[in-house]
Amino acid sequence: MKIGSVNIEVPVFLAPMAGITDYPFRILCKEMGAGAVYSEFVSADGIIRENTKTLDLICFEETERPIGIQIFGNDGETMSQAAKYVVDRFRPDILDINYGCPVPKVTKKGGGSAALQDLCLMDDITVAVVESVPEVPVTVKMRAGWNHETIVIPEVGERLQNIGVKAIALHPRTSKQRYTGKADWSYIKILKESVSIPVIGNGDVCTIDDMMRMFDETGCDAVMVARAAQGNPWFFREAKARLEGQLIPSPPSLLDIANMCIRHFDLLLENRGERTGTNLMRKHFSNYIKGFPGASIFRQKLVTAPGLAEMRIALNEFIDTAKTAELKPAF
């Protein structure tokens, strides 16, 4: 598929996730076959103020391409300046506007999915961003509406397409639902039938079978994966094989999981430093280490380890067990 002039070989994307899709996690998913990856969403205000922590979230390596940088804000002028800054300094393949985040600390300030309550504001922001970066395709990630009484699909799709947006990723829950209830995939199908630009489906894709069902039921051009990839970058390897009609790889062994934990941890320490890296890795350990006998014991040790040394000891214990388990089919 193509988004603007950007060629994407595998139509399975890693969704932007706050606190998750930093460089270490993105690169692991990319190596496993993700067709495109996205940064965490970053504040337009932080970008134009050149806040160091904000700009660190935008940095990426060439091997991650094609990559999208996602920004959010509540007014056209700030978003325009931020978009131009990101494109001029970082040169991403895609610039994505967040109209989907339902978290109150974002929506109360008019960012994220709050724009779904004021489509004229959404138009103003989108026009400002599209016009400020004509050389880069602008995409949008959004929800179906603010609540069930104000569903904006398919009206918004047509408006965004006419403005110049090159693709739309739809999470078909409302903002008020946040992450509860069921994602209504019928809205993805409605959106796809109302526009000619690519539509990317997102929401409740937990397995490869879910992914295939979303393609079949909605006609979407690509699927964007979020929680299913946490602790499981192998999802993209299996997805790629399934779409290409190849033999599905075997699930990761316990030793594969242990080695991935080491790789991820080392990347985090190198990229974010000891203090931040160890803190961020705790949630990743929780995601990786589950579903086998004794998992809770190893997970508890790693998540509660007070520092780097103790975490390394617990991780080495897990690795030793994983090596032994390679000889035991019980795992």
| Residue 150: Cβ within 10 Å count | 14
Torsion of CA 81, 84, 85, 90, to 10 degrees: 160
* Residue from 246, 192, 245, 247 nearest 215 by CA: 192
E strand segments, the chain? 2-3, 6-7, 12-14, 36-38, 42-43, 67-72, 94-99, 138-145, 167-174, 199-202, 222-225
Helix (H, G, I), strand (E, B) or coil at 66: coil
Cα–Cα distances (Å) from 103 to 61, 110, 178, 236, 287, in that order, read 29, 11, 8, 27, 22
Is 101 catalytic? The answer is yes
Q: Which of 29, 101, 220, 261 is catalytic?
A: 101
Q: Which helix (H) or strand (E) holds 123?
A: helix 119-132
Q: Which position has the token pair 């610039």?
A: 95
Determine the distance from the C-alpha atom of residue 289 to the mean position of all C-alpha atoms in its chain, rounded to a whole number.
21
Q: How far apart are CA 132 and CA 83, in angstroms?
A: 7
Please identify every residue annotated as catalytic. 101
